Amino acid sequence: MIPLFDTHGLVAWTVWYALLWLLIVPFVLLVAYAFVRVSPARSNEESTWLNGAVLSAFVLLIATTFVSAIFVAHASPGRPWWRYLLWLAVHFVCWTFLGSGIFFASLQALAAGPRIWLRRLSSLLALAGVVLLHLASLYATDVFRHRP
C-alpha cells in the first residue's frame, strides 16, 4: 500500500509530501468552480486567479514528476546509467500525452464560452489525470524511501 503522507525521517520528506498534496488543490478548486460557479448566466466569465493557480500547479507538477522519475531510477538495484535514461523517457512520454491532455482539459474548463457540460467534463478529466500523476509520484517516493 502506498503511504499517502509519511512524516518519518527528515523534515524534507514532510515538505515533499505536502508539496505533492498541495499541487492537487488548484485542480479540485477547478472542479468546484466548474460545478458551482459556472451557470448559463455566467458561462462567459473566466477566473483569472484560478487560471494562474492551475498553470502554476501544472508547471510544478512537471517538476515533481521529474524528481519522482529520478527517485525510481535511483532506487533500482545497481543504478545503471541507462535506467535513468529509461525513466526520463517514460517521464517525457507521459507528459507528451497525459500532460497535454491535462493541460488542454484544464484550459477548456477555464475558458469562457464553451458549453457548461463540456467545461465540467473537462475539469473532471483534468483532475483525473492529475490524480493519476499524483499517485505515481507517491509510489515513486515510496520506492525510493524503501530501497535496499
What Cα–Cα distance (Å) separates residue 105 from each residue in 6, 20, 28, 118, 123? 31, 20, 13, 10, 6
Q: What average pLDDT is seen over the chain? A: 86
What whole-number distance in Å separates Cα of residue 131 and Cα of residue 83?
A: 25
Residue 118 lies in a domain: yes
pTM of this prediction? 0.86
Residue 38 banded pLDDT, cuts 50, 70, 90? confident
pLDDT of residue 37: 81
**Residue 88 is part of which domain span?**
11-145
Question: What residue type is assigned to position 108 of the chain?
Answer: Q
Residue 50 lies in a domain: yes
Does position 9 have pLDDT exceeding 80, yes or no? no
Residue 134 lies in a domain: yes
What whole-number distance in Å separates Cα of residue 132 and Cα of residue 26?
A: 15
Residue 145 is given by DSSP the state H
- Count of domains for the chain: 1
Residue 2 lies in a domain: no
